[in-house]
Structure formats: C-alpha cells, structure tokens
Structure 1
Amino acid sequence: MPARLGRPDVIAQAHARSLDIGLRASETPDFQPLRRLALRELVERNQSLYTHALPVMETLHAQIVDTQSMVLLTDDHGVILHSLGDSDFVEKANRVALCPGVSWAEADRGTNAIGTALVDAQPTVVHADEHFLHANRILTCSCAPIADPFGRTIGALDVSGDTRGFHKHTLALVRMSAQMIENHLFSNQFADAIRVHFHAHAEFIGTLFEGLAAFAPDGTFLAANRSALFQFGKPLAGLQRQPFDALFGVPFAQLLQQIARAPGESIVLTLPSGVRVVARGDYAAPRYVALAEDFAGTSRVPLCGGPRHAPRAAEPAPLATLETLDTGDAQVAAILRRVAKLRGRDIPILVLGKTGTGKEWLARAIHHDSPRRAAPFVAVNCASLPDTLIEAELFGYEDGAFTGAKKRGSVGKIVQADGGTLFLDEIGDMPLAQQVRLMRVLQERTVVPLGGTRALPVDLRIVCATHRNLRAMIEAGTFREDLYYRINGLVVTLPALRERTDLAALITRMLALQPDGERLPRRVSATVLERFAQCRWPGNLRQLANVLRTASIMAEGAQEIDVEDLPDDFWQDCIDAAADAIAQAQPADADNDDDRRSAAHASAHETPARMEDWQAALIAQTLARLDGNVSAAARELGLSRNTVYRYLRRGGTTH
C-alpha cells in the first residue's frame, strides 16, 4: 500500500465520512449517468474549465498511453465531464461507471481519489483496497483539484487505471497538469490585466513553475496563481489590498516603465520575505500602452496591438574560462590557481559561496579548461526541482516507470553528462533519498534509471555548489557525511561581490558581453562607479549583471551609463549599505536595534561623503510622484519622516 501524501489519516477520515453517509462497502449502487442533454448543459456551465483542460488532457493521455488507464475531468461536484482512455481499459472502467455524466463525489462513491481530493482540496492517491466500495478496488487513482484564479475549486483532474499500473510518480504528473490548466485559466481571466511573471530562478520564467500575479492599471492587486502564493508565503486573502510596492519592493510605475521601454526584458524585484526574483511584466490590452508611456515618457509604439509573441529564447551562456574569470581580485585569482592545478584530473570540486557569486560560471570554466571540454556540461539546480521529480530528472526512467511514461523513457541528467561534467548546484537542497542514490553513482560509476534493472556505466566529473553550511547539515542529519567526503576533493569559497577589489573590471567585462548591434553603452560614469563601490550588493554578481542590463537599456544611445539610468531598487541597497555601516558605529546601549537602524538611515542621508549628490534628487522625485505625501515618501525610501522634513526645511538639501 503506498504511503499517504503527508497525511497518514486521510483515508481513515474519508472512510469514516463514507460510513456516516450510510454507504456500505459491499453494495453496488445504481449509478445512472446524466442524459446526453443534461451532460451537454453541465459541460456548457463549465465551458472555460472544459476548453482549457482538453489540450492538457490530451498531452497527459499521450504520456500514459498503453498503461491501462485513463484521464478524467470532473466539475466541482465530482461529476465526470470528459474522459480519455486506452481502449483495453475502457470496458473495465465502464463496469465501475468511470465515464462522463457519473458522479464520483464521496457522497455517491465513498472514498475515492476524485471525491476525497475535492473534499480535502488536496492532491490525493487512492489505491486498490483503500477505496471504500469493494467494486472500485480494481482501481488505482491519482487526482488533483483544479482552482480558478481566485482560489475556488472548480473541478478535478484524475488518472485512474488498473491497480497493477500503480506508480508513486503518477500524482506528480497529474499535479503538474492541473497546475498547467490553472495557469491557462489565469491567463484567460486576466488577459486585460497587467501581469507579472516571476521566479527566483530566471530559467523558470515562462514555464509551469513561474509565479503569476495580476494587477489593475492603478497597481491594485487582483489575483495570483499557486506558484506566486507559495513564493509570497501567503494565502490569496492575505494579499488582498496589498499595494504593488509592498509585494515587490518597487513602485508600480517602475514596472510600467520597464514594460514600455524594454518589452520582454527582465527586472529584479524583491518579495516581502527579502527573496530576490527575476520578473517580467506584460499587458495584453492595447489600452495599457498609453498608460505605460505616461510613466516611461516614450513615443507611441504598438507594443501589444498585434498577436502575442512567445518569450524570447534564452541567450546562450557566455564562454567562461579560468582566464576570463581572472579580473584582478587576489582572492579569486588564488581560487583559479588552485583549480587550474587539477586540470585533467577528475577530482571532485565543491564550490561554496553566497547566492549569485558566480558558482556556475566557475563550474563552466572548470569544464571548458579540461580535457572534457568537447563533451556535455550539464547543470542541475537541486533547489528548483520538486522532491517528487528530482529523482527522475537526475537518474532518468525506463519506459513505463511512470504511469505516464510508456514509450517515453528519459536518460536523465547523469547519463546526459556522460563523458563531460555534471554540475549539481545547491546540492545542500537535495533530498536525503536522492543523496543515497547519488552516493551509489559516485562509488560505482553506474546509474540505474527508475523502473530499470540494467546499470548504465557513466564517465563524468562532478562539480557541486551550495550556499549552505554542509558540515552543520551533517550534524543536523540533513546531509550525508559519506556524500560530503565524496564531493569535496577540493573546496573553494567564492567571495561576495562587496569583498572583491575588481569591481571596475567586472563591470567592463559584463558590459562587453552585451549583444552587438544594440546601441548600448559599454562603460559607466565615474559617479556611477563610485556609487557601485558603496552598494552592499546582496545579490552579488547576478544583481550587478541585472542592474547593468537594465541601466544599459535606459541609457541606450548614450556613451556611458549615468546616475539617472540606474533602477530605483539599486538606490535602496545603497541606503541600506550606508545605514548598516553607521548602525555598527552607534552606541551599544542604544534603546533597541530598530532605533539604531532608524538613526543609521537618517545618518546615512546626512553623510555628505556618501550620499548628498544624489539622495536629494531621489527624495524630490519621490515626493513629486506621491503628491508631497511625506509619510508615503518616507515609507517608500526607508527613511524616517524627520529626514524628509529636514530636507524640506533646508530648501531641498539634507545636510
């Protein structure tokens, strides 16, 4: 019997409900499907769900073909609206009334995946004799509820089949398919809204896993999909009445400006938790063009008047070598020298460092400067894959290993990297079960795909990276000690950007990588370089690259990037950097940390050597945009109101 999905009592509770209703396990109720006209009317009442679910159902059915199973769509009461199934299973399904027009609500069928998932509003597996009715125990079923953009359950997606075809990964396929339907419904519901696509990892923008949030033209929050709610860490009700800047850390006007000036380009935003995400805004309604232009000051161009365009394909990663990574910082140069000594040797390397410090760049450079350079470099981000999928992603699976993978096996990332280099980013986030399997691969240099019996030999080099303290995780029992000593043949720690001395060289290198043919500047002004040196750069190299990209677009046609081209959130990091430095100098017996922080913020804005040449203009711009509202301006800038009032009393200066 399969383990329950995090709630061991779900079946027992469902059986108790079935008994309370008065059902008997041995009975065979008379389930008459709806008449054709009534079923047609029911489908029409659920037309949006039905329309958006059909193509997803067809894709899911193509994955489970020849596995004696079927895909089912129901309404919110558990009545089957549509089904797609293998011909050799349809007869068996008909014997238990698994067909359109029949209700599979718990009240009618007792404990079953469809009815129980709808009652609990959670993805559910009900296998074999876990069904309440004896007649249904020939089935294994995996079901996920489908919610509309406002969080209301409107139906369910289910895969039901012969018990012999059970596989624990089937539910993962169903859940992803249900989420795909929800995203289609979201895009359709808010086709005329301003939408933000976001994720902590840029490669997930435009995929099933991206967060989606919709806003009205004035910045009022409308709705968010499941991924967005997960990233915000709040339920939908907790996000209502939240202004855009409270959710993403920048004024709504900045997003509109970005959309108008550089449609399709990304921007870095900050969630309330402090997590930085890569985001892309879009609006489908032509009437928003003028709105965006008002904020951006651009000429009138038909940004969205025609058909929607697919997102631009990701540009290939720039060539990284050990030589190109040496831009003058002594710490980095020492790391590169140590790594270079292992050239041609398959000693594993563990790269430590904060998020965004360039761990993947170093891994690519190690691969390029090795005899394996002609073979694949395969990168896997262990933190970005759900626990239910990382095993299949890494180790691959044989035909039929999933209910949903017949004739569609996958070799997995490890086999893909055969002959080359496998880069496991954020290995500290790998689940323990997969750590055991990875350890076996490293010991035996073979991999057995899920559902397979034959071990495939692999020849690869392993480079791992993490921002976590693996030794502390070993003590806590969340990381295997034997795996740790397998992956740390050489350990190097990349410094944070604020600790490096090669900032000017890094900027030059990054700007030189911008696409040819675009009239983008290749240098920054001396003032910008000075401000960059004062920033704390919490996002490290990744943040620097994003700031330069955005600023380059703002300065398109100019010879260099100047202060006015820099995005607003960069200035906030400068303010925070100065405040942090001054806070450290406050007396230790200050009333509390908040008071020290507030005083530091005010002091940061009163320190002529750091801020006076740009912060007065920033305060003035913010006050003008907020119609002179001092409290709102202070809140947005992270200042005390006294600092803003001091600016006003002194005629527009803060010192």
Structure 2
Amino acid sequence: MTLTMREAHRHADRILELVRSGVPEQANDPVAQSWSRCLNEYRLDPAKACEPAFVARVELEERRARRADVIACARYEMTTLYQQLADAEAAVVLTDTDGVIVHMVSSPEFAAEVGPLGLRVGGMWSETAAGTNGMGTCLAAAGPVSVRREDHFFTQFTQLTCSAVPVYDPSGEIAAVLDVTSRSSLMQQHLLVLLGMTARMIENRLIDARYRNAHPLHFHSRPEFVYTLHEGKLAVGDDGRILAANRSALFQLGLQSMEDIRSHRIEDLFQTSLEDMLQRSTSASFHPVVTYRANAALRFFAVARRPASDAKAPMVAGPTVAANAGQLAPARTPARLAAPKPASGTTFKDARLVTHLDTARRVIARQTPVLLCGETGSGKEVFARAVHEASPHAGGAFVAVNCASLPETLIESELFGYRAGAFTGAQRTGRRGKILQADGGTLFLDEIADMPLELQARLLRVLDERQVTPLGTEETHAVDFQLISASHQHLPTLVREGRFREDLYYRLAGIELQLPPLRDRSDRRDLMLAVLAAEAGGAGSLSAEAERLLLEHPWPGNIRQLRHVLRTAAALADGKPITREHLPTLTHVATAPALPPQVSPAMRLAVSMADDAGGDDLPVKLNPIQANERQVLLQLLEQHRWNVSNVAKALDVSRNTLYRKLHKLHIEVSHPD
C-alpha cells in the first residue's frame, strides 16, 4: 500500500492537530504519547520521509555479541512463533535495548520487500530514528504496544502493523524487544498474547542459561500449572539465597521487583529449606510437593532440582527451557551415539522440505523435539524417518505410533507396555511398549492430537522423567529417545478448546515444521515418477496426457492417495505406458456421485456405483457388492483427505468398525505417509 501525496499530508495534519490540541482522553494512549515525543522532544516532521538508518557491520557484530545469550534463547522461539502465525507477509523481530534489530525471522520474499524500509538486521527502530513504531515505542513505553497502520508517525510505515513486547533478563531489566511486523491485518490483541507467551519462554530460558550452577525451583498454587508457562520459577544458590526469578514468581509471591526477592532466602518465602525441598522432590520422582508461604496460609506446589551443571542432577527440564522451548534433556546419555549420516533412500527436492529437513536435523541433535504439521497423507512419517536417519540416534530404532489408528483402550498398553497377566487378554509373556522399543532411537507419535487426555498426562510424565513404568508393575525403566510428533490438526486451537494439554503441547513443539501438501510441492513430478517406479517394479511409464492429469490433480489425499492411484494404474496398464484410461478416479472425480446426507450408514456402504476402479490389482478378488463398497469408501476417504476419524463420523460408525471394514476390503490406511 502506497499513500498518495494528499493522504500523506492528511496523515501528518492529523498527528499535528492531535498533539497540539492536547486532548485529555489521549493522555494514556501510548501512540498519542509517542507522537508527542516525536514532535516535541525529537523534533521529527511527519510530513517528511524517514531515511532508514543502519548501524555499521562492525558495530552490529558487537551488539549481537553483547546479546548472544538472548539471541540464542530467542532463536527457536521466534521460529516457532513465525510458523504459528502462518503469515507470509510477517516478520518476527528481536531488537536490542537501543532498538537495533539483532535477529529476524521472515520469508525471503517479505524480507526483500521491507528491507528498503529498514526492516532488516542492523536496522535502527528507536523512536528517535523511526518515529512511532512497535519496537521503538515499546522501548520508550517499557511495555507491550500495538502500532497499527496509521498509528505510525512516518507515512511510509503506514503499510505495516507492529506489535511488540519487552523481554526481561533475570535481573528484571529489559534485555530486548520482541516484535511482529506484518502487512496483513492480524488480531492485535491475540498477537500480543502470543508475543507475551513467547517472551516468557525466552525469559525462562535466560534464567536457565545464566544460572546453570543454581538450583531451579518450580512452583504454583495449582499443581497442574507446575511445568507450564504459568509457573513461578526461581534460581536458588547452594546457600538457599534467591538469585533470580521470573515475573510469575514475583506476582505469586506478592513481590514487586527483583531487588525485593534477592534479599530473601528460600526459608523466607516458603516454610521449607532448600535441602528439604530437594529431598522431598527426589522422593516424589520430581512431581510437585506441597509447601506453604512463610508466615501465611497460602499453599503452593513445588519441585526443586539439582543444578543443570551438576553431572549427577536428573536432567529433567521444566517448561521454562525444555517444555516451552521443547528441549527435553535426557535422563541418561547413551554410551555411544551414532554420527549423523545422510538419510538413506529419501531425497527431497522441494526447497521448503530441504530447508525443514536441515532445520530438523540440527535441532534434534540438541535433544529438541520436532512437531510436524501438515495435511493427512502429506508424508510426515517419511520426513520423520529422514530426520532420524541423519540424527545422532540413527543407530537406534525408529518406532512409529499412529495414535489415531489404535483403539483408545490399547494406546496405553501399546505405548507403555505391560507385564504378563496385567489385564484380561494380555500376552502371557507381557509386552515391551513402544517407548521402551524407542530407547536409544526415535519415537514418532503420529496424529498426536487423537491421544486421550488422560494418556497425555502420563506421556507428559515420561517426557519429564525419562522413565517409563509398564502397566501392572511398579518397576521403572530409564529411556533415552528423540521425539518427533505429527498432527494434521491445529494443536493451539485444541489447547484453547480444552482438548489438548497446554503443557504437553509446549513439550512437543520444540520447533514446528509445516510440511507442504503434494499439490504445492515443486518436486511433485519427481515424486510421482519415484512412486510409480516403486509400485510398478521399475517398469512403469506415463503418457503425456496421464502426466498432465497427475500434475493438475489437487490431491486431497496427498501422497497416500497418489500411491493408491499409481498402484491401481500400474496394475491396469500391465507393463504398458499409463494413459488416461488407467486413471479412472482422476478422470471421473468431477462427475463422481455425491452421497446424499439422508442415506443410512448401511446403505452408504452398500450403494452401487457404475465402474469399479482399483479392484483388479487386489490380492483377493472381491464380489460385486464388496467392490462397490470399496469404491464408496475410497471416495469418502478422498473427500475427507484420508482422515479415518472424519469418515467414521460421516458414516456414523465407530472408528474400530471402520478399520475392520477397511481391512476386509484391502484398503491401506496405516502404511507410512
């Protein structure tokens, strides 16, 4: 958006008129106050263009070096926030306390467009340099601020909307400003909440980074909030003196500043000592134990740990570093980790996938969990295997668990295992769970959103303690594994709706990677040829018309649907080049009969269709009724992007019933994406 000369003068006149009129109700408006500073203190002219200012390269490197720990703690949080926003015309920005940008996350295209405005690393965005803007005004106001388009002082910035929050260091001083600048109309209040949460994660990580020799103490008045964003966190010295605290700790304890809390020992705050808290926390397997506020009846639940620098300390991270940043420190270190190696048999040519794979390989090497997001069938398990094969744990097993395909009654025993005779129907020899099988390797939890809430709590405990207790026994086993999760659902939405635990989400989402659907992949032609070669034993080929149909199809079922279509086509072609006639589900997709909503489930499965595509390549010959049922189910699966839960709801049958029907009709849904 470019303002005309008349609009620019109107914008400048509006600022001048408001400031000169001194309207009383504007007194507490941070934008109005900023305009006043810009005019009266900095002597800036809103009618003139603002020349972007940058610091020299040497000075920039010096500034980045001074803020190295802040940048390190913020880097992955900023990337995660950027991915959560899913806005191609947005940038997540970190500035130092002078308003100089020291780190930025955005798309290359958006960065190229806003770079000339000064929105790039090294750009100066203090109010004195750029007038009213998110970063500079946040520093001047020392608090969260939103600066919408026409709120900017200079007219060339009115195409942008900025929201910014301060990031505090453990001493309680502002260490940086975290900002989102966008050209689209985002919900600013919602964005400020997200920014505030991200800032708290960075602040908690800073406490851990700067006080590795201190004892971390996590507490809250409600036990379920320990190890979440809402917890209070203290860094406690060996002598019991408080060295640092996060803002939640100050609020819960009724203290105003770091100076107030640094004058106290742990005995001054709680009716306990450091050694007592450490002993009780260890005895409780680091689950919250009860304590009380000193000289008050306020009850808290707390956990204390040995310093992270202590080799004997149980490396179970709380939410401030591990859960919110996603870094899950292992309870034990494998004797020998395999060196990373290239992923065997899996290559990606799509630029986004190549970048995501490189990112995932780097972060998982530091025990940071990876959360893969994307449509059903978009290849999340294949991608996860590629990450595993290039990781330090490549020598261990890759264990995949599809949380959507297992009945709720079996997920617990499948994950945690059980001893012999633990329940009716259990194997006589017992069973090792998937978590134990993944020890030394990678655990891949597919469709994690479908995990029942009660099991989410138990999984959270395993991720905390890095120990697993099989069903029917009190025996615990230490485990060490890399964690990769995947979901086609938007987990933050499920968290807001109360259908997914917030604390588990932050443990899983060390970094979130959005995998593109097949229709958006730049390498889809190469992928189609590779899938065809695998399905046709290397003997398949495509006619020009067939290739065009494949490339233009929207692929609602993604790679899973592609594999099924090419498998059927290869069987129909029988060694000859695949033509249009061998792709009936693509050529007839526009005219496929819709199922009326009033049809009963039984009738839906028995409805007859004119042609039966895909029956000839089945290992078992189906009768005509079964063939028609199969085609109807395939159509429904494609309509619902191969989401079995949604298809079951559409048919008004249980998911287990549908899985049995799919198995009977030889429809694969559980093979890798």
Query: TM-score, with normalisation over the residues of structure 1?
Result: 0.44
Query: TM-score, with normalisation over the residues of structure 2?
Result: 0.42
